[in-house]
Chains A and B, each alone.
Chain A
């Protein structure tokens, strides 16, 4: 099948068909100066084509085609990974502690210091290893792809990519990727062209044309390569994708090479059966590989602040250690000599030698650092790692983020930055493949001034409904008057319309209900059964148009649709319908639509096009033949395309399609009958984000045509610079006095749920920037479709003038260009500042070229200042590098958390550069996903990922860290107070085992429960109240105020625990039998109090108790008693002071239990009172909602609940609801005017 269609295509000669291809820039003109560079440093590469064996030996030995993206290999893993680990300050500190514990200086055994360190470092290294392994597997996958390589005597054998070497001749088939950078020798087309998809390089989906040298055209068969030999001299490997300097020595001739002959790795052969090429740059030398950057390791904002928190704690640690060691030294110096029972003089090497107070000071200092090491717990890092992994697992398993189509779920590829998801303020989004499906659909058309295909859009509908609600409320409050009649009518009208158009807008009711339930309906409504055709109007469909009044113009409209294009039909298996292939996806949709309306374009030869037309009079289909006389191609300057055809009767027609202003300028006076109506429709379509195009035609007299054709042919035959000009002139002559037929609107189909998702994100206070490689018009269309743009927005365009553009290209006279841009920026800024007072929304649209200038360091600040002020920013024609640059600058300039989302290899830079990189999986390319931190199968999952999971993760991690710090400070300080009572001798109050178990068993699990299970509010509420998300953006859960509050709380708790225990248990008897408590007893009692306190404290923090939470919290306390019993049962040489301690001693003392209770009450009271006061008088959003939910007020008082939701939305200028709001304002304005 494929083969057959391929052959036919070959017959047609694509290259001739696409006449516009000749307009692609030819570099031959300015090759000359570059050629001189060859042989110079930087341009010294020599490639012997078809002689790869010459490249196996020096000096022309080049790397193999093996590409590695791994960070480590087997040899370097251990040293490098260890180095990475100990670059973290905390790890280094722990290492120091462990090292010091070996010479008995530390109060703890070496094992208890080293084991956790090994554990933490081991886990992190294991994670690194696993990640690197998956990269390795990915590499293996790529490296072992197969390609056909010439072996000898014209036979081609399959080899893996990695076996390729420079100089190999390869044959690449249709839809295959190029294994390395190739020089195109010939293709399946006679003229040596081929089409290349470079989506992975620049994100552009349109095909690029590559053309081989004339000299190598003959090498179009396997056998031709038996004797083929040539030499290439060219530039050295570099990352520049769009340049290439070199020449080819072949058959005693030297031919200059240009980028047109170079096929880059990571791009794909399209619409061409096969090409032959020779490998120039292999493996790591390939331009695409040189362009890739290693993924940086990212750290979240919370974690960075945690570093500072660690510094604060370290300071505290150093402070109390200094106090301790000073105290120790002073005591030793002044008193210790008198303590005969210690016999301190007798051991000279001890840190407690009274004759050497200075040495003693330092040694005691080191010992204290380790003793109070509980302030900086190594287990904090372990717990964070564990919690993050579990959080990532929960994100991955969320069924609400599972895409059934692709069978893929959201994947948290790195768990490091889960909580960062809750703090995002900026989203930088790619367009194609991310917001849009890269699929066009025929949506609406306006023929003879009548619009078909549904006139009401969802915005109008929602607005009128909301209006009605508003109006009703209004009427009730102001004693009904009839003033609102109009809007009611309007509402009723739209409802009636909507019912009629149910089929089109199948989702309107769902949208209405969106306030109450979370919806997931794509804006495009019902899915078409035909790909590319989402249109339903009974007046046109099923041949109904033949009953219309002015059938003639309608036929002409359809003929334009079916004839004015460059496509060709492709048979589609058993289906009756044809499929089409064309240069632009829009043309395909036109052809499909024409087929649906009864004008099937069924065949094309070099000069004849065949249509199967519906004859309106008879209602049967007739096959007609149109001779294609001329084709006036489309390009970005002309913005129109025309064909001149003659029908069977010999009548000559010009069919033209093009952009609105271009066509309107070229209409005949009698051709403007429908202009007014069409204009109105156009603006409606554009507002909905549809891409529009006008259709016009005219009949040409044969004589007129003949005379024009001679002119045109002459122009075409001209060689030289004036050719373009002449052609342009010729087409101008014929493309005028047109008759307007109507307009079509095509939708660049959005991904599922995109508008709703953007709406929600906007309400949550996120800014969305659109960065796309597409041209401005397309980008703006999508802007409208996603509600990022509105017509009542003030648009600022930042563009370079044509001349400036050329200047930039030639790298000359930046000054002037820069000033131009700067003045544009300044003017826009002034206007925005003015506009902001009047609350005028604004949008900034920046062109890639202008962006390049604007991002220069000198003026980038002004540019960013402007951009940040605007409600939405759209950057078009930006290169992958610029995307990355924008991501970096925005991140640095605003200091806000930035999320970049994209799907293609061109987004990789941006994804890596942003704080969070999100890749869309499910598309073909995996590069974006590989580089990303999170991968989503659908864009709209971003909403749940951020607003639900991000919010939760942020709150969980912050709460967890604060609590962790609390428990360790509270615990660690009791050790310090004990030092004051034991003469700073460095003794620990607690048994070694208690100390070890504190962070391992007795308090660690509830923290993990907090970090994994805590929910301040449920997922639904998170989505209903997007404003809750702003808690993360403002970072209120991990502010310094909170951190110090918790440190204060911890200090209070520790003081309470220590003083209460000490004062009660000493010195009087513990029990009725007169026995007193010794060190071990008091240590155990105090430790019990600590365990109770910290575990009850966490119970006060947790707001969401699942059974797991309960089990872990209360189980931890129980664990302590169980441990005590078991520990006490060990032989005394192991349990030491703990022997039978609970059963025999403290457990039998009522005082023990009474004191425990007292301590818990006393320690928790400050926090309890604080939180009551805070809750009652300064409640936070989530607490209010918790209260409403708790009292079930959301059920009993629904209006209040809905009102609260409304209020919680951030006022935004972008998104669907903002559009509805704007519409309502507009309607109200009109209402007021009509009333007057």
Chain B
């Protein structure tokens, strides 16, 4: 019986057999979904098979290049339109007699930490002008630091008492600390005030934190408790009568930075500054960066649609764009000199 069956199939040519199989199977598996299934199992799904031919390669490179350069120019323009003043004050603000032992100076709470500096505005600065403090060599991204907080406590306050993650700033004298953890404990506590001539420039310190933080992450009914009451005082004190959701300095500080050099928003000046305006700044230089060689800077900056001043992005785009176009040209040359023929 084996022979009989064979005679049927073998007499037909391959193509016929194949067509047979196809037709039959499609009959068996009717409907669009089944057809797709059939094509899938037979690995004959319609497919697009792009090939890097010289034409497609050259045009891709060109198009990309042409696309990148304007973006680069726009970005660069935006970045260059930003006016930025950076003023390092950590060493200048230490009185001369303490210059050799800054740590002693900063740790001695009896010594007044007042300090003042003058700045000249190089260019017209349009409001809002953002005030940042910048810390260098400060590892907010250290694992121990980053983990040392309790989001639930920040939101629910004392109701939430599992604060094991806050080690080592968990409790004091057997009472829990709100907000607990190293981050809040080490809150930045320098303050600035600005004068143009004799007029104090008003600093708007509202809305410097992300709205979602204020609304959702920091409780409206959570008040600081037992904070900075221990023997070790880290940074700033918090007003125990202001709920956490309104302690924007804290909220900003709790957004740990990714790099050891970071800026944090301090406030906004909502007046334009003219070129050559002289601004006097009064600091309270409280924060100890001296023990670990950190630097403190004050930054005044406007912002463009793209954010702060950063030429790197625009330059990178322009570089890549030109690189692509050069490559395209090189490939055109190569292609003209050495056209692609199928070797026979």
Contact = CB atoms under 8 A, between A and B. Distances in A.
A526 B11 contact: yes
A902 B217 CA distance: 70
B269 to A, nearest CB: 11
A983 interface: yes
Interface string B245-278: 0000000000111111111110010000000000
Nearest to B183: A341
B176 interface: no
Which residue of B4, B18, B43 has the most chain A CB atoms within 10 A of its CB atom?
Answer: B43
Contacts of B31: none
B21 A402 contact: yes
B243 interface: no
Contacts of B284: none
A340 interface: yes
Interface in B11-45: 11, 13-15, 17-18, 21-22, 25, 40-43, 45
Interface string A392-418: 011001111010110000000000000
Interface stretch (B49-57, B91-99, B189-197): B49-57
A39 interface: no
Interface stretch (B112-120, B221-229, B303-311): B303-311
Contacts of B14: 510, 517-521
Contacts of B212: 1132, 1139-1140, 1144
A339 B308 contact: no
A1066 interface: yes
A342 B139 contact: yes
A845 interface: no
A1078 B320 contact: no
A1105 B49 contact: yes
B259 A340 contact: no
Contacts of B208: 1075
Contact of A521 (B13, B46, B68, B186): B13
B144 A1106 contact: no
Contacts of A96: none
B344 interface: yes
Contacts of A1187: 51, 53, 340, 342
Given A527-B7, A1190-B49, A1139 B217 contact: yes
B141 A338 contact: no
A83 interface: no
B115 to A, nearest CB: 21
Nearest to B22: A399
A340 B42 contact: no
A338 B48 CA distance: 61
A41 interface: no
A916 B285 CA distance: 77
Interface in A756-782: none
A1079 B49 contact: no
A76 interface: no
A755 interface: no
Nearest to B167: A347
A981 interface: yes
Contacts of B210: 1075, 1140, 1144-1145
Contacts of A518: 14
A298 interface: no
Contacts of B9: 404-405
Interface stretch (A314-322, A710-718, A1146-1154, A1220-1228): A1146-1154
Nearest to A527: B7
Contact of A1071 (B45, B142, B258, B307): B307
Nearest to A1069: B308
A342 B182 contact: yes
A1019 interface: yes
Contacts of B323: 1165
B227 to A, nearest CB: 15
Contact of A1103 (B2, B49, B68, B288): B49
A342 B145 contact: yes
Nearest to B343: A1184
Given A982-B260, A1072-B305, A1204 B342 contact: yes
Contacts of B43: 394, 398, 952, 1013, 1015, 1019
A1107 B45 contact: yes
A1139 B323 CA distance: 39
B317 interface: yes
A1066 B146 CA distance: 18
A334 to B, nearest CB: 11
A335 B45 CA distance: 62
A563 B38 CA distance: 57
A752 B5 CA distance: 12
Contact of B145 (A341, A402, A521, A1107): A341
Given A985-B144, A1184-B342, 4 more contacts: A952-B43, A981-B258, A1066-B261, A1132-B155
26 contacts: A341-B234, A342-B139, A342-B144, A346-B168, A985-B142, A1019-B43, A1062-B259, A1064-B313, A1067-B261, A1070-B307, A1072-B305, A1074-B268, A1074-B301, A1076-B262, A1079-B256, A1081-B258, A1107-B45, A1108-B45, A1139-B212, A1154-B317, A1161-B64, A1161-B324, A1172-B57, A1186-B51, A1187-B342, A1204-B342
Interface of B: 2-7, 9-11, 13-15, 17-18, 21-22, 25, 40-43, 45-54, 57, 64, 68, 71, 75, 84, 128, 130, 132, 134, 138-146, 151-152, 155, 167-169, 182, 185-186, 208, 210-212, 216-217, 232, 234-235, 255-265, 268, 288, 291-293, 301, 303-310, 312-313, 316-317, 320, 323-324, 327, 331, 334-335, 340, 342-344
- CB-based closest 4 A-B pairs: A1068-B308, A527-B7, A1069-B308, A1074-B130
